[in-house]
Amino acid sequence: MKNTNNASSLLSTGLWALLALSGQAIADDLTPNQQLAHDIYKELVEIDTTTATGDTKRAAEAMASRLKAAGFADEDVHVLSPAPHKGNLVARLHGTGKRKPILLVAHLDVVPALRADWSVDPFKLTEQDGYFYGRGSSDDKYMGASFITNLIRYKQEGYKPDRDIIVAMETDEEIFDHNGLGIQWLLANHRDLIDAEFALNEGGGVYVKDGKAIRVNIQTSEKVPVTFQLDVRNPGGHSSVPRPDNAIYHLAQGLVQLSKFEFPLHLNDTTRAWFARSAQFFSQQTASDIRSMLSDKPDALAVARLSAIPVFNAELRTTCVATMLQGGHAANALPQLASAKVNCRIIPGEPAAEVKATLIKVLADEAGQELGISGN
Ligand SMILES: [Zn+2]
């Protein structure tokens, strides 16, 4: 999964986690459908589809063969290869046509895996202590395997939904499709094949308790990442004659102020619904804090307790955090430049310019002097 990136209008969900909820391994006694899911999953994981060096075309062809062997017509299964070793798969199960199709998207490619960094072979599906290991076993091949297995099962059972179900397995997602060979290529060259009323892709996740799925998260957008560059300049000098103004101290002071700053609570329809529905899964205290936060008069202490939990805090507000630091040029010279990068994750709808204006205020020193700040 890209960790990241731009606001997306696609809905995301792990709804189709048929075989391996969150990578959890399966028992020995498999039904034929479970066995099929396992075999497809294993086949996908064991084809090296590392974006730069692997072969997504091979993976697309393998999935196409599975579908055709299960009775899908040639015109409903397409392996589209815009470059050597690059492949996208598009397959369609015909419904009654009463409604517009749904598009299910998974990616074939994986990020690199060095054998030396792994305790097992990353391109061999290994089941160990109740978990599956292998590059792509969770991102995103369990999802692709689930889609393909489900399509096969629908076909064999004669299932006719009220809309076509289209599965697209794209290449190059892990590099944001920057060569335009994946989803962008499909959109530009085969829009008709993937045209749908709405799409589901990865991102939401299925939560499991005692072996049972208790929650399927749906993500309607992502926070918008913006990185700001902070530069503090100073005439410098020799370290034997320090001056009160010092670029490193000045920058550090601003960053300490930032560390104590919290953007205001900003819930939207999606996060409100998520907290309202998921409160039941947490401790009594947390559930009651959530209900207070969602009420007309949120209790400040309740909000503070929730904000102290990083995964909640990230849902509650825009965040900005220092991620890189640089400064000075010699051990015996006063620094002429101290720099930091501050990475913000902005709640969709908040203008980046407003976040920047807030940062400038937060970082300003006691005299109101602003640190040099430039966006993105
Ligand atoms: Zn992914």
DSSP string, 100-137: --EEEEEE--B----GGG-SS-TTS-EEETTEEESTTT
Find the 129 Cα to ligand 1 centroid distance in Å.
24
Residue 368 Cα to ligand 1 midpoint, Å, equals 44
Per-residue pLDDT tens digits for 7-16: 222 333 333 3
Q: Cα(185)–Cα(83) distance, rounded to whole angstroms?
A: 11
Q: What is the pLDDT of residue 6?
A: 32
pLDDT, one tens digit per residue, over 9-48 is 233 333 333 334 444 445 568 999 999 999 999 999 999 9
In CATH, what number does 11-219 get?
3.40.630.10
Per CATH, 11-219 and 224-375 having the same topology is answered no
**Assigned CATH topology for domain 224-375:** Alpha-Beta Plaits (3.30.70)
Q: Which residues contact 251 (CB under 8 A, 6 or more apart)?
A: 230, 232, 327, 338, 339, 340, 371
> Ligand 1: distance of its center to the CA of 242 in Å?
51
**What are the structural domain ranges in the chain?**
11-219, 224-375
- Tens-place pLDDT, residues 132-163: 999 999 999 999 999 999 999 999 999 999 99
Q: What is the pTM of this model?
A: 0.72
Average pLDDT score over residue span 181-186: 98
Class of residue 200 by CB neighbours under 10 A (exposed 0-12, middle 13-18, buried 19+): buried
Q: Is the pLDDT of residue 3 over 60?
A: no
pLDDT, one tens digit per residue, over 326-365 is 999 999 999 999 999 999 999 999 999 999 999 999 998 7
Distance 11 CA to ligand 1 centre (A): 14
Distance 2 CA to ligand 1 centre (A): 5
Distance from the alpha carbon of residue 3 to the mean position of ligand 1, in angstroms: 8
pLDDT value of residue 203: 81
